[in-house]
Amino acid sequence: MSPRSFALGDDLLSRGAKRRRARSARVASWDHTGLNEDAFVVMPGETAVLADLEGPGAITHLWFVQGCRRILGPGLFDARQAGTAMVEFNNALGYNWEVNDPDYYRKVVIRMYWDDQEHPSVVAPLGDFFCVGQSMPASFQSLPFTVSVKEDSERRYGGPAAFNCFLPMPFNTRARIEVENQNDVAYVQYFYVDYELYAEDLPEDTLYFHAQWRRSDPCDGWGPDLQVNSLETQVPNLDGKDNYVILDTEGAGNYIGCNHSVTHFTGTWWGEGDDMIFIDDDFLPDGSTSWPPSMHGTGGEDYFSHGWGMQKIHYPFQGTIIHEDDVPGYQVSYRFHLADPVRFERRIRVTMEHGHANHLSDDWATTAYWYQTLPGPRFDILPVERRLPRRWEGPSMKDLRLPDRDRLDALRRSMYDQRDARMAEFTAQREEWLLRRAEESRRRAARNAEHARQLRRRFLQGLG
């Protein structure tokens, strides 16, 4: 009896001990010329195809490292000769003057399509998909996602980081992963997309991976200036209709969790709100819901499997990524239902109160993850200006009163003229380098797709 290609019942620790009629493969950003320009460059307004794969198969791992620099002053080198994607000298040394774009994790959008659906099954800001809330990466480890950040970049807006996702993403005929740069400057993307190819079609009970980002800025609270847990907030919520909605979808599937970003305004406690999950027959024919829902919780920290507030932990299935003690007013948390998936046959709505009975008006954003049948729901994403995080800014160049050059002496005026000339030359060189690298990235994407097709043909021929 020949081994099966794909078994939904596999457990993690035994996968390596079972033979499968499968072939492992990868598409990546590697430099096909054999040099070291191992990154895609994605220009403003452009979409890059990171993977275009023929099935049957399943994506098994995503690794992403990226960067986006804003140039504040000319560097002391020819940008066209740069062999790496970014220069990492400290700005204090005078060799260059560059800063990370603080918001680009929310300006770049990732989309995934399965089996030639016209609409994507995954739509989220790049950072939030990988659990980077508020465009502020912090190192953490869970079972499905990890993020690693250098200590000097921890919890800094737009800080460089490495992302990993280990959630399986099966596809029967085709998988396509794209990133769209909705920024006004170019960014660079290193990536691996590791996957398996199978000889037979996926089983009929296969569900397809989905992810959706949502935001309420702010949530519509009825008493945002009332103290949390005060006598004045003790009103009943017996329908959940004003709760924040994490997920609302139709079909059959399994909800497997979310990440959750909060910007809290009153300096008290953001999490005094119950989770309420409505499933299947909780929805009545007239569109309303019955009460109570199939799953009713007791508080925000309780849903995230913490207690007495949020602890500074990151466990396989639940944890904190950014804690409000470290970044006042901010909390980024996660809960993954991989051991306890929330199953539905027709419809599910995952909700949570924002404050007891929804009295708080905090800024909430979530990315929901789930598997379901195709066709999946159609959904899009807020425009870029409504995705940007609320940033608490310290002193910056915007606070400076610039000099009147006409009142400077000739020597000092000449220094500004020299800077302007060097900046124009440096900017032109960098633009030339970016355009060359972006064109090469487009060709590389096409070669990756062709390489994946050839590999699949060789795999099937090898099976006879």
Higher-pLDDT residue of 285 and 85 is 285
Bridge partners, 367 (sequence order):
213, 259
Task: Grade residue 140 by pLDDT with cuts at 50, 70 and 90.
Answer: very high
Confidence at residue 89, expressed as pLDDT on a 0 to 100 scale: 78
CATH 2.60.120.1390 residue window(s) in the chain: 18-207+407-464, 232-372
Distance, in Å, from the CA atom of 451 to the CA atom of 445, rounded to the nearest integer, reads 10
| DSSP per-residue string spanning 226-270 | SPTT-GGG----SS-TTSEEEEEEESSEEEEEEEEEEE-SSSS-S
Distance, in Å, from the CA atom of 290 to the CA atom of 305, rounded to the nearest integer, reads 26
Q: What is the mean pLDDT of residues 113-141?
A: 97
| DSSP per-residue string spanning 53-89 | EESSEEEEEEEEEEE-EEEEE--SS-GGG--SSS---
Higher-pLDDT residue of 145 and 399 is 145
Residue showing tokens 């480890």: 141
- Cα angle, residue 369 at apex, residues 448 and 188 outer, rounded to 5°: 40
Fold of the CATH domain 232-372: Jelly Rolls (2.60.120)
Q: Give just the sign of the alpha carbon dihedral 34, 39, 44, 49.
A: positive
Task: Grade residue 4 by pLDDT with cuts at 50, 70 and 90.
Answer: low
pTM above 0.85, yes or no: yes
Task: Grade residue 83 by pLDDT with cuts at 50, 70 and 90.
Answer: low
Question: Residue 446: enclosing H or E segment and its boundaries?
Answer: helix 410-462
Q: What is the mean pLDDT of residues 98-104?
A: 93
pLDDT above 70 covers a percentage of the chain that reads 97
Question: What is the tally of helices (H) and strands (E) in the chain?
Answer: 4, 24
Length of the chain: 464
pLDDT tens-digit series, residues 279-319: 999 999 998 999 999 999 999 999 999 999 999 999 999 99
Question: Residue 195: enclosing H or E segment and its boundaries?
Answer: strand 187-198
pLDDT tens-digit series, residues 368-390: 999 999 999 999 999 999 999 99
Task: Grade residue 400 by pLDDT with cuts at 50, 70 and 90.
Answer: confident
Confidence at residue 7, expressed as pLDDT on a 0 to 100 scale: 53
The b-or-e profile of 86-97 (16+ CB within 10 A means b, else e) is: beeeeeeeeebb
Distance, in Å, from the CA atom of 364 to the CA atom of 417, rounded to the nearest integer, reads 47
pLDDT higher than 70, residue 179: yes
Q: What is the mean pLDDT of residues 393-408?
A: 87
The whole-chain average pLDDT of the chain stands at 93
Confidence at residue 1, expressed as pLDDT on a 0 to 100 scale: 45
Alpha-carbon 200 to chain mean position: 32
The CA-atom distances, in angstroms, between 347 and each of 74, 244, 283, 328, 373 are 55, 17, 8, 37, 11
Q: What is the mean pLDDT of residues 208-232?
A: 96
The b-or-e profile of 328-350 (16+ CB within 10 A means b, else e) is: ebbbbbbbbbbeebbebeebbbb
Q: What is the CATH number of domain 18-207+407-464?
A: 2.60.120.1390
